Amino acid sequence: MYSGTTLRNHSGQLIGVHQRIDSLARRNLTKCVGDAAGFPSARQILHFEGKNGPDGIKRKSPGVDEPWHFIDPNDPGDRVLINMITEHYRNLVAALREPNSERAAFEAAWLAHAIVDGLTPAHHYPLGDKIEELWGKPQSERSSRLEKSFIKGSSIRDSLSKNWQYWGAKGVFSTHLLFEAGVASSITTHRFVDTVPSEEEIAAVAAEGLEATFLESAQYVFDLDMYHEFWRKGWTTKLALQTRRELLPIIIWLVTAAWILAYKESQA
């Protein structure tokens, strides 16, 4: 999801989707557990988004130790993102127990970012496979900004063709960016008041486990087929309504639930 330009700390405050979700989830957490003493504030959490978040790492060091927040919901063996979510969750619990407010804010932000991206339709597209096809190497081996931005083919014609497939109209990455821009534009004024988990829902997530709940949610989002709809028709009123009524509510709900579970576990 869009999280600002990553050039400065507050670049995503206006239409940053990650920032909006974090703020709403923090509001929901207060509604569920009250003061939540020791849990970082929305302001502390947002410090680790945008420039200081996973997307900022991609700008500073493309391809090198870059958080890869893509997942194929239909592939049980695709566990890179799942492992990241689990690690950030455990680290958040540990930071809350210490207590270490700065570390807790970092882990809460990065946990939320991983969950949000994992439930974003554009992140269910096998971008890594397409990058390997076009560049002739895994995405993790693109070790400079230039190499990440420009595909060098076997000839000028081949270079132009491959770069158009990636950056051009209906290109792999241009479509990704435009989909996320559509999400950002469609939620700017929506309040998402019905995204607070009930006590019964929190208990159900605790019993099932965060991983299983995330995977079920990812499959639900995948089955909505929003990304292919966008690829075919562009941003439509139907997609905007789906974003506000189905996509964002389940994302905000799960981020809230993950934070609540971490907070409750740290208090046990």
pLDDT reported for residue 6: 43
Burial string for 5-23 (b: 16+ CB within 10 Å, else e) reads: ebeebebbeebbbbbbbbb
Cβ atoms 213, 260 nearer than 8 A = no
> Rounded to an integer, what distance in angstroms lies between the CA atom of residue 181 and that of residue 158?
29
Between vectors from CA 144 to CA 143 and to CA 148, what angle results, nearest 5°? Answer: 90
DSSP designation for 189:
T
pLDDT above 70 coverage of the chain, percent: 91
Tens of pLDDT, residue by residue over 169-183, are 889 889 999 999 999
Quickly state the pLDDT bin for 13 (edges 50, 70, 90). low
Which residues, 6 or more positions from 6, have their beta carbon under 8 angstroms from its beta carbon? Answer: 50, 51, 53, 55, 56, 58, 59
Tens of pLDDT, residue by residue over 51-93, are 788 876 665 555 556 777 899 999 999 999 999 999 999 999 9
Q: Which residue has the higher pLDDT, 146 or 74?
A: 74
Mean pLDDT of the chain: 89
What pTM does this model have? 0.89
Mean pLDDT score, 26-43: 93
